[in-house]
A and B are shown apart, each in its own frame.
Chain A
């Protein structure tokens, strides 16, 4: 059972307190978008074995959504961060690069070092 740190209320919360919300940093496509764009937004998801960015909600706690960066393979958690950003903070990306050199996720690329 995972433990994630809620960046809003500061609690290290167990999975029973949390609600998984799927992939992070999706860009919404609405009316006016092409079928391909909308299909991608609605259905296409990453399924990495390794570094992944996800949305979680501290549902049985402060109720806030946040983001988590973790390894789907080893369950290592690299960090959690605000839901109100378009991509992971650089500091966190660097931290992941140190542990998983050369990681890639969608358009993001970690450094080799």
Chain B
């Protein structure tokens, strides 16, 4: 039984009871409990099922390293899967449920996998891929899909708020244990601006549980005094509940602060992601205890010795009445002492070292504990709960010497420094043979912009476990960080004298007993979360997996939410042993940030909903909204797709807009079109390089349609260029292309032709632009009055400055619809005024504002290409029949050389044609035109694809543009084009210009 004790519980407020629910059952805990301690206090040792075999899983650890006790926390919009019970602070009304079981935690169908365990060995998934294809599709894939993943994905939108916070420090210290506190104090007293963060709610780390004295006083007093000193200093920022999440290039550090997880009703953001720049970082991140690999080490009730001690001292919770302690080091003896002090029974301490332990072991014998040196656990007995252990010699193969009844096992396989943050940005490790762990190599730290190390390590994270040594190490780390940050220390702190009982070295014990046979190895778990056993890693090695990174992926060792915090060292030691090489030769897998999973909300911060990205609004945007326009995103703009009226479908609205524009008058808000001014004596020469056409010969007052290619020859943008005066051009770009094309121009100007006298300015937002389109376009402009817009006064492809209805305008006579059309540019602030005037004056013609879909259909009816529809980054202008826009006179332009490459000049390239369906149907978007035969991969050959397809209200049928092999030579041929629904469409190849081929409409 695990239960609440009458003693212990230094973090509890026993006056304040807290209610919570687990799997629908109501429980009580105290303020100060974690969810894990409260569950244990209610004898809820079984908390989940393992990933693969659905084995019963109990709480193993007491901190961030917990692999088993993962719960779905909260309900509805507050639900979050995979939350560690050990780091979840209990609050009144907490509601959680266990994961990965069906139908219930106690009785789970998936546990049948456990019985079939020998059919699910290492690399099981990969092996299923090798089976016959049919087996994968019909047998394995459905099983794998059904069982993949631990927690459920939240269904509702996250109800909480999150934020980012930018901060700058000389020294950032991660970890608020004794080492972190002392390092921060040393740095702060020396004058540095210091941040100290602690991931839990409490200062002091393990020290209050492990004990010891500083300057003759209890270590608890030292912690309180140091925190008080730091709090009083202006140059120090202290944060609890904040984890150092990741260390990145050049001293960038992220801190994950959990503000209201423990008080969910409190206002304000739930999490805050600190984006920190620190000259120096000190990681005082402590150490994590390793499990021991013996058969049955995953049965609920087997816990880390340090965790069991934590639950008693911090939360007044016993994990069992009768606990067998098994260890390869001295520290676990402290757990035995703690158990006894709180009235619990320890029938035996099994010390795997033949020579036994040091002073702590001596003390244990003095206190009357039964200590067995050189002994080990052969296997643990029990199913959903430990019932006893079988003892053997560590040196043997597991022959049982004795069986002991117990209801819990405290195991300790030694302590591994938490080197994650040191390693995130390239800090290297060294193998400490005596301590049997990896620790940071001080000579190979992560390097900053100047080539200097920017991370220091202090305390247990540095492999120091003696209190005195920790304080010395931390003082040095704090002081050297100040110097390394480029500051002159104001004072030099002396390390206070700390004292704990000296510990003897641990023994490297990677398998218990060392000669365990296959039957025992198959029950000795390395990774509890992913069900990886000693036998799996040995099998991987046998199958040729020598790299630890490959082994990780093959066996799933150290994957998922805990990323092998408990299993990594044991796993790679097992691999090294199987390969018969030294542990450093195998090395570790890569440590990647974040240290433990952080919420997606914290990563997004404020960037959600309206604030996700800025919305660009044209001067007429409000009007569009008032008309209930249906918007579509184009870059950061929202453009009206159409303006549906009451009871009208979008398709009906688009048809109405087109018909009325072609019949009389339409208006388009074209303000989003890119507008770039290119100015200077070399502007013409520059644009000759930018465009495939000759632009330098354009006369002021005239417009020319131009194509832009990149150096690879591919078409990247198009638009009308107007020459304003001898030195000035205005280049229109596509809506989505304005910033990109401006950047493209600047790149060539700054990095290739920097001696040319040209500058560019992106004035897209400075002007509103309105396309006035249709047979009545001239009439409505004349009605507004103020400038010459007659057939010969402002000819097709000319522009003029003037005035309309008293508003200063620049009118371009250009057409993207095939109709008589003027694009009127005005300063942005006057855009809405001109729009309103045009609506008013156009009322008698039943003026019809139209959206982007009408624009698209009308341009397709005219056979005009659209960047992004007819182009996809692999299309050259020649493919689109645009040879007329490619200058043959110019020696050079961007893309010219590339278009001479053999593949570009290949006559077999697909070319643009029109398609009309025989029955008037609309072809599916992006459909491919199959050809006979198969390619080398056994796939059907293709001979073309549809690039644009619409219903044309003007022609009353489906029209399309397509790129087709030898298309222009195949006019009249009927193609069969399959849709995704099995329909075969028949379409005839035709000229892509469907409407007014001779341009009589626009030329009036």
- Find chain B residues with CB under 8 A from A83 CB: 750-751, 754
* Contact B897 A31, beta carbon cutoff 8 Å: yes
* Contact B249 A2, beta carbon cutoff 8 Å: yes
* Contact A76 B449, beta carbon cutoff 8 Å: yes
Residue of B nearest to A1 (CB): B252
Bound-state CA distance A32–B249 (Å) is 44
Chain A 1-30: CB-based contact to B (< 8 A → 1; otherwise 0): 111000000000011000001000000111
Residue of A nearest to B248 (CB): A1
* Contact B250 A30, beta carbon cutoff 8 Å: no
Bound-state CA distance A59–B750 (Å) is 13
* Contact A3 B891, beta carbon cutoff 8 Å: no
Number of A-B pairs whose CB atoms are under 8 Å? Answer: 66
Asked if A99 lies at the interface with its beta carbon under 8 angstroms from chain B, I say: yes
Asked if A103 lies at the interface with its beta carbon under 8 angstroms from chain B, I say: no
Chain A interface, number of residues (Cβ within 8 angstroms): 29
Asked if A55 lies at the interface with its beta carbon under 8 angstroms from chain B, I say: yes
* Contact B750 A65, beta carbon cutoff 8 Å: yes
- Find chain B residues with CB under 8 A from A99 CB: 451
Asked if B974 lies at the interface with its beta carbon under 8 angstroms from chain A, I say: no
- Find chain A residues with CB under 8 A from B751 CB: 21, 55, 65, 83-84
Interface centre among A31, A74, A83 (most CB of B within 10 A): A31
* Contact A59 B451, beta carbon cutoff 8 Å: no
Bound-state CA distance A74–B891 (Å) is 44
CB distance from B407 to the nearest CB of A (A): 51
Known: A1-B250, A38-B901. A28 touches B712 (CB 8 A): no
Asked if B892 lies at the interface with its beta carbon under 8 angstroms from chain A, I say: yes
* Contact B898 A38, beta carbon cutoff 8 Å: yes
Asked if B441 lies at the interface with its beta carbon under 8 angstroms from chain A, I say: no
- Name B713-772 residues within 8 Å CB distance of A: 743, 746-747, 750-752, 754
- Find chain B residues with CB under 8 A from A64 CB: 750
Return the contact of A74 from the options B451, B750, B897 (Cβ within 8 A): B451
* Contact A59 B896, beta carbon cutoff 8 Å: no
Return the contact of A30 from the options B249, B426, B897 (Cβ within 8 A): B897
Main secondary structure of the interface of A (DSSP, over half): loop
- Find chain B residues with CB under 8 A from A30 CB: 892, 896-897
Asked if A92 lies at the interface with its beta carbon under 8 angstroms from chain B, I say: no
Return the contact of B250 from the options A2, A59, A63 (Cβ within 8 A): A2
- Find chain B residues with CB under 8 A from A3 CB: 250, 449
* Contact A31 B892, beta carbon cutoff 8 Å: yes
* Contact B897 A38, beta carbon cutoff 8 Å: yes
Known: A35-B901, A76-B450. A21 touches B747 (CB 8 A): yes
Chain B 865-896: CB-based contact to A (< 8 A → 1; otherwise 0): 00000000000000000000000000110001
Known: A29-B897, A35-B901. A42 touches B712 (CB 8 A): yes
- Find chain A residues with CB under 8 A from B399 CB: none
- Find chain A residues with CB under 8 A from B249 CB: 1-2, 15, 75
Known: A1-B250, A33-B897, A83-B754. A74 touches B747 (CB 8 A): no
Asked if B238 lies at the interface with its beta carbon under 8 angstroms from chain A, I say: no
CB distance from A96 to the nearest CB of B (A): 11
Interface centre among A28, A29, A33 (most CB of B within 10 A): A28
Known: A74-B451, A76-B451, A84-B750. A31 touches B250 (CB 8 A): no
Bound-state CA distance A35–B898 (Å) is 9
CB distance from A74 to the nearest CB of B (A): 4
Residue of A nearest to B902 (CB): A35
- Find chain A residues with CB under 8 A from B426 CB: 74-75
Residue of A nearest to B891 (CB): A31
CB distance from A67 to the nearest CB of B (A): 9
Asked if B447 lies at the interface with its beta carbon under 8 angstroms from chain A, I say: yes
- Find chain B residues with CB under 8 A from A71 CB: 451
Bound-state CA distance A84–B746 (Å) is 13
Asked if B900 lies at the interface with its beta carbon under 8 angstroms from chain A, I say: yes
Known: A3-B449, A55-B751, A65-B751. A75 touches B250 (CB 8 A): yes
Q: Which residues of A contact B (CB under 8 A)?
A: 1-3, 14-15, 21, 28-33, 35, 38, 42, 55, 57, 59, 63-65, 71, 74-77, 83-84, 99
- Can you list 5 pairs linking A and B with CB atoms under 8 Å apart? A14-B252, A15-B249, A42-B898, A65-B746, A77-B449
Closest A-B pairs by Cβ, 9 of them: A76-B451, A1-B252, A74-B447, A84-B754, A65-B750, A30-B892, A77-B449, A3-B250, A31-B897
